Structure formats: structure tokens, C-alpha cells
Amino acid sequence: MALSLSVRFERLPLRAPFRISRGVKTHAEVVVVELSDGVRTGRGECVPYARYDETAGKVMAALRGDPERLLDSLPAGAARNALDCAFWDLLAKRDGEAVFDMLGRMPPEAVPSAVTISLDAPAGMAEAAALARDAPLLKVKLSADRPAERLLAVAEAAPSARLIVDPNEGWTLAILQAMAEPIARCKVVLVEQPLPAGEDAALEGLSYPAPICADESLHTRVDLPVVARRYQAVNVKLDKAGGLTEAVALAQAARAEGLSLMVGCMVASSLAIAPAFVLAGEADFVDLDGPWWLSRDRPGGCRFERGVLHPPQPGFWGDPEHLG
């Protein structure tokens, strides 16, 4: 039976502005894919990212045509992610077997996940960290402006939390070196993509007080040979890799290179997080707080409490008990 594909754009309001070194957003802009065989429907969601020259319009245009041919021809990125995840969801319904079982994985009951402290004035970041101080892991968004002051403000407000520092490509090598001392003083367990992708050769052989993790420098397995020389960890995101299929293969290949593994996300609903949750049980770091930023998540989605991410309800995505 031929498959039919429907695609729609949604703007999901956030409960607070989300700021990083590249800008601020007040809504999550997502594209939702629904793939039907006439009886069952599989769903997927992606976040078009301007950093990679993606827009909702471009993603939706790329998703016109025969779904199976598209899956074979689309490059890594948001459009392929939504379609790939919809195929997995549909396959689970059609075959009566959960995606976790198909991949030979045990679904975790719950996992600690980073809570993001959005870029703000130091006092504002300290206030946000104090509100999230029960979370075991905080991701601290920084820029080139007063990074040490902001980091120390968060560390003092949440003294028990481990910290991930994320400049989103916003530092120079000089700033990275200057930040070594404050990073060593705080409970920083990871520094994520400090230098711009393509300008990170200086990381090769660099000694640093915390492991450095590739985010924008890593999309698919093609990038691993260079990444493995410069970084100690990788952030696998389905929107970069082009879906769960490549993300699973990328995670396995990264492990084979001796790299630590983070599974991350864009700001999106639980429909985007549920497929990424498949990787959460094997990750050293989980950063899947996207739905936590929404004013309202999708019914039946993930539950996020005190820095712990609970899986979506049965039937939400990727198993044969779909409720939608």
C-alpha cells in the first residue's frame, strides 16, 4: 500500500525566553510529519535551524514527494530527521513491536537530564540556577561577554550541581584558555563546542581541565575522524544526524573511537524528544530538556521533574500502543 505524507508547521510558545550566544527565541518553531499507510500513522518532529541554513519553508518543501524515495535521498538535517522518526513510529505500529525492542535496547525508566540556564545577566542566571538547584546537572549557556562572572554566579547559586558549559561556538582560543582556571574551580564536567565549527583545529592536543565536547562540529559519522582528534566527547542530536537511524549508528561509532557520548536536542516538544530518548540509556550525559521550556507540551509527552526526565506515556511514540 502506498504511503501518504502530511507536513505542517507549528509555533510552540516558550514559558521564558531562551537565550544563547547566537540570539534569543520565544517560540519553538517545529515541523511535524505524519506518515500513513491508510490504517496506521507514524509521527515525527524536527526543528529547522538557521545555523545550518534551514527554515520551516525549506524543510517543508524538501518533504514533498514519495516518502520512501525521500528517505533515501534527503541529506542529514531536520527534514530527514522528522521523516525518519515517522517511519520508525509507523514501523512499530505496523509490526506490533516497540522501537526499543527492534534496536535491542532496554527503555530506561528515567534519566537525569541537564537543565539549561539561559544566557542572561549574571544575577538573572544565578536566580535561574537557584530555582533549578535540585537538578543534578545544569547546562550553562555562555558567550564571550563576562563568561567567568556568569559561570561563577551559577556555580554559587547551585553548589551541588554538576555543570556543562556551552558557549555555542562563541569563544576564541584566548577566551577558552582564560576560562581554564574558573572552569577548574567549578564542578564543570564538560565544555561544549567552545570554538566555531571549522575553526577548532587548535583543540587538537590541547590539555584542558574538563573534557571538550563537539556539537556543531559533528553531524554524522563522516565527521568522526576529525572530531575524534580534537574532542573527548560528542553531542548526538537527531536534527543534525538526520534521524534516529543515523544517530544510533553515530553513537556506536563514537564509542568505538573512545569518545564520551551526550544525547542532546533543540528546543522542541516531546515528539522530538521521544526518539532521542532511545539513546538516553547509554549516554554519559543527557540533555533533553527541550519540552521543559514549552508553555505546554503535547499530551502524553515526557515528564521533567527536578532534573530527571521520565519517558512519555505508552503509545506516545515508537510502540504499538499508539493513542493518536
HEC profile of 16-51? EEEEECCEEEEEEEEEEEEEECCCCEEEEEECCCHH
Question: Could you tell me the fold of the domain covering 111-310?
Answer: TIM Barrel (3.20.20)
Q: Which of the residues 25, 139, 187, 237 is marked catalytic?
A: 237
CB atoms within 10 A of CB 276: 26
- Contact, 207 vs 183, CB < 8 A? no
Q: Select from 146, 149, 144, 150 the least CA-distant residue to 174.
A: 144
Pick out the chain residues at pLDDT < 50.
322-324
Query: So what's the pLDDT on residue 323?
Result: 42
Alpha-carbon gap, residue 262 to 259, rounded angstroms: 10
Q: Select from 278, 271, 257 the least CA-distant residue to 300.
A: 271
Query: So what's the pLDDT on residue 229?
Result: 97
**Residue 81, C-beta contacts closer than 8 angstroms, at least 6 positions apart:** 44, 46, 238, 239, 241, 242, 243, 244
- Contact, 309 vs 289, CB < 8 A? yes
Give 3-state DSSP helix, strand, coil % of the chain, rounded to 5.
35, 25, 40
Query: So what's the pLDDT on residue 39?
Result: 94
Query: So what's the pLDDT on residue 322?
Result: 47
CB atoms within 10 A of CB 90: 22
Active site residue 25: no
Q: What is the CA radius of gyration of the chain?
A: 19
Q: Are strands 4-20 and 260-263 parallel, antiparallel or unpaired?
A: unpaired
Q: Which of the residues 58, 93, 139, 141 is marked catalytic?
A: 141
Q: How far is CA 315 from the centre of its chain?
A: 22
Alpha-carbon gap, residue 103 to 134, rounded angstroms: 33
pTM of the model as a whole: 0.94
Domain range summary for the chain, segments of one domain joined by +: 4-102, 111-310
**Residue 191, C-beta contacts closer than 8 angstroms, at least 6 positions apart:** 164, 165, 166, 167, 176, 183, 208, 210, 211, 212, 213
Q: For the chain, how many residues are written?
A: 324
Query: So what's the pLDDT on residue 321?
Result: 61
Which H or E run contains 141? strand 137-141
Query: So what's the pLDDT on residue 1?
Result: 58
- Write the pLDDT tens digit of every residue in 236-265: 999 999 999 999 999 999 999 999 999 999
- Contact, 163 vs 186, CB < 8 A? yes
> How far from 294 is each of 79, 133, 137, 260, CA to CA, in Å?
22, 20, 19, 29
Active site residue 93: no
Homologous superfamily of 4-102 in CATH? Enolase-like, N-terminal domain (3.30.390.10)
- Contact, 98 vs 92, CB < 8 A? yes
